[in-house]
């Protein structure tokens, strides 16, 4: 991992040597020649790690550490110490310092190993803190969001992309939790201190969507009696989440493309360029690759958005987590309505596991909320909607599931017949190579073909 490091050392030659070692590894390094200068830099900037001499004139490294450790998001400390001050360095570690090294430093690789461990540990602790904080803003814990085998690879993808600036495109049916995953990416990102601003592109009339995105000036159109900020300005320093991006009119897609390419936009009715200091996460329940083929979505915008695709499975492919989600929602809605229930009876749970859940997790949540309101001692089958209560046998495969299975089998057979040659397979299937590539990702076949 690469980090922002403050190096505090009063020996100029040694300081220059350490700076070179760290910068050669790709770290962003600032230096200070004494503790007082280091303290001023810490107050003005955010650092991941401080590497400091323990003994310095004016303000010691130990004093610098004790002043900084009380901050809300303190950097980790590694001390450089002479043989005679090892005991003090060990004491500092008991107070929260990460590690120490004795001078002279004979092996720079030892320093680099400790730096890497410190940065990795810092990232893990920040991830954990962000996700714990997410529970206070109404989000379920991470263990629930990514529960089940189908979500474990997605959990890794989310953690990998969160710390980058890459655009993310989340695919999934309605109700699969696309906005929830987008919020987690934001909370784990360096932009977590900024706002998370969602916009459902399908919920805004076409003639108002541009104003919602970019804002407008006074008098820009009838009814614009004053200037108004758009979502891109409101999300400054944070993340904008464009849900149902496939519903955006083609005419507006060109303007969004300009924002992604040039990082500037203009309010409706204005001529001043405004910097777009935001990260874009988009989501769709459409096959955007197919939309591109059908000329309903711009190809250049698709590639700008689809830098890092994340595919969320529907609930019918995650039946193993239905009991866990059900119990979570029962407890949550019991707290809201002030009830104490014993849980859910086996017959009711069997019906819930058998149901196809076309509305996915959102539908499950609504069903449980209704059941909790109706229940007396525990959630029973009688408290469920008729569609669930009358489904005693598992509905393992829906018609849509069958179509997906047939589609997947055809792709596998075509690839096998042509020895894995995607061009020939696409020709046989009478689809574009781009569409085939998208389907390979959708069905998880990139490693199987």
In angstroms, the CA 248 to CA 284 distance is 11
Per-residue confidence (pLDDT) for residue 446, from 0 to 100? 60
Using pLDDT thresholds of 50, 70 and 90, give the confidence band for residue 400. Answer: low
Per-residue confidence (pLDDT) for residue 397, from 0 to 100? 45
Per-residue confidence (pLDDT) for residue 402, from 0 to 100? 57
In angstroms, the CA 444 to CA 31 distance is 47
Per-residue confidence (pLDDT) for residue 120, from 0 to 100? 72
**Residue 132 pLDDT greater than 60, yes or no:** no
Tokens 């695709």 correspond to 309
CB 375 within 8 A of CB 383: yes
In angstroms, the CA 200 to CA 295 distance is 22
β-pairing, 168-171 with 99-102?
unpaired
In angstroms, the CA 167 to CA 436 distance is 22
Q: Read off the pLDDT of each residue in 22-40 and give the average, rounded to a whole number.
A: 90
Task: Please identify, among 348, 365, 389, the residue that sits at the C-terminal boundary of a domain.
Answer: 389
In terms of domains, do 380 and 404 share one? no
Higher pLDDT, 170 or 422: 170
In terms of domains, do 305 and 331 share one? no
CB 237 within 8 A of CB 275: no
In angstroms, the CA 118 to CA 245 distance is 39
In terms of domains, do 166 and 285 share one? yes
Find the angle CA(108)-CA(113)-CA(118) to the nearest 5 degrees. Answer: 125
In angstroms, the CA 425 to CA 419 distance is 9
Using pLDDT thresholds of 50, 70 and 90, give the confidence band for residue 405. Answer: low
Of the candidates 44, 32, 97, 41, the residue with the CA atom closest to the CA atom of residue 66 = 97
Residue 85 to residues 79, 80, 102, 107: CA-CA distances in angstroms? 10, 10, 9, 20
Residue 55 to residues 34, 91, 102, 192: CA-CA distances in angstroms? 10, 14, 12, 36
Domain-located, residue 448: no
Q: Read off the pLDDT of each residue in 86-95 and give the average, rounded to a whole number.
A: 79
Per-residue confidence (pLDDT) for residue 68, from 0 to 100? 85
Dihedral, 103, 107, 112, 113 alpha carbons, nearest 10: -100
Output the DSSP codes for 389-431.
Answer: HT--S-----HHHHHHHHHHHHHHHHHHHTTT-HHHHHHHHTS
Per-residue confidence (pLDDT) for residue 134, from 0 to 100? 47
CB 411 within 8 A of CB 440: yes
Per-residue confidence (pLDDT) for residue 84, from 0 to 100? 65
In terms of domains, do 335 and 215 share one? no
- Share the mean pLDDT of the chain: 84
Task: Please identify, among 389, 408, 429, the residue that sits at the C-terminal boundary of a domain.
Answer: 389
Provide the domain count of the chain. 4
In terms of domains, do 165 and 306 share one? yes
- The tokens for 419 are 């020895």
Q: Which long-range contacts (CB under 8 A, 24 or more apart) does 220-227 make?
A: 220/267, 220/268, 220/269, 220/270, 221/268, 221/269, 224/268, 224/269, 227/267
Of the candidates 332, 338, 326, 335, the residue with the CA atom closest to the CA atom of residue 384 = 326
Q: pLDDT tens across 55-89, in order?
A: 888 888 888 888 887 776 788 899 988 766 777 77
For position 376, which CATH number holds? Answer: 1.10.8.60
Domain-located, residue 72: yes
Of the candidates 304, 244, 309, the residue with the CA atom closest to the CA atom of residue 276 = 304
pTM of the model: 0.59
Higher pLDDT, 338 or 393: 338
Q: pLDDT tens across 193-207, in order?
A: 888 899 999 888 888
Per-residue confidence (pLDDT) for residue 136, from 0 to 100? 44
In terms of domains, do 121 and 229 share one? no
Q: What domain range is 92 assigned to?
A: 4-133
For position 432, which CATH number holds? Answer: 1.10.10
């Amino acid at each position: 991992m690469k980090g922002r490091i403050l190096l505090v050392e009063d020996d100029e030659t040694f300081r220059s040597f350490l700076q070179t070692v760290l910068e050669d590894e790709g770290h962003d390094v600032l230096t200070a020649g004494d503790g007082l200068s280091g303290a001023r830099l810490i107050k003005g900037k955010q650092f991941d790690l401080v590497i400091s001499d323990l003994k310095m004139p004016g303000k010691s490294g130990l004093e610098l550490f004790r002043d900084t450790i009380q901050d809300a998001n303190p950097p980790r400390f590694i001390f450089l110490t002479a043989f005679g001050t090892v005991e003090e360095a060990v004491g500092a570690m008991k107070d929260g310092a990460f590690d120490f090294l004795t001078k002279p430093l004979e092996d720079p690789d030892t320093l680099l190993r400790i730096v890497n461990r410190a940065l990795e540990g810092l990232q893990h602790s920040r991830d954990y803190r962000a996700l714990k904080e997410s529970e206070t803003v109404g989000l379920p814990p991470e263990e629930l969001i990514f529960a089940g085998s189908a979500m474990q690879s997605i959990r890794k993808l989310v953690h990998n992309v969160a710390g980058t600036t890459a655009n993310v495109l989340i695919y999934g049916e309605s109700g699969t939790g696309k906005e929830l995953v987008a919020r987690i990416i934001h909370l784990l990102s360096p932009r977590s201190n900024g706002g998370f601003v969602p916009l459902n592109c399908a919920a805004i009339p076409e003639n108002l969507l541009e104003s919602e995105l970019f804002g407008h000036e006074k008098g820009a159109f009838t009814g614009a009696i004053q200037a108004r900020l758009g979502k891109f300005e409101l999300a400054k320093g944070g993340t904008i989440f464009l849900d149902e991006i496939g519903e955006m009119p083609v005419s507006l897609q060109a303007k969004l493309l300009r924002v992604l390419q040039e990082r500037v936009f203009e309010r409706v009715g204005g001529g001043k360029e405004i910097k777009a200091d935001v990260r874009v996460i988009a989501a769709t329940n459409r096959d955007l690759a197919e939309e591109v083929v059908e000329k309903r979505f711009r190809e250049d915008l698709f590639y700008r958005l689809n830098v890092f695709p994340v595919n969320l499975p529907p609930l019918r492919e995650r039946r193993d987590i239905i009991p866990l989600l059900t119990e979570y929602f029962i407890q949550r809605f019991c707290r809201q309505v002030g009830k104490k229930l014993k849980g859910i009876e086996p017959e009711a749970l069997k019906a819930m596991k058998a149901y196809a859940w076309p509305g996915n997790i959102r539908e499950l949540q609504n069903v449980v909320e209704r059941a909790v309101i109706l229940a007396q001692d525990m959630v029973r089958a009688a408290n469920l909607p008729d569609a669930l209560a009358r489904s005693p046998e598992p509905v393992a495969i829906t018609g849509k599931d069958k179509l997906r299975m047939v589609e997947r089998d055809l792709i596998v057979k075509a690839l096998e017949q042509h020895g894995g040659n995607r061009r020939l397979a696409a020709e046989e299937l009478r689809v574009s190579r781009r569409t085939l590539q998208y389907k390979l990702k959708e069905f998880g076949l990139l490693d199987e073909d």
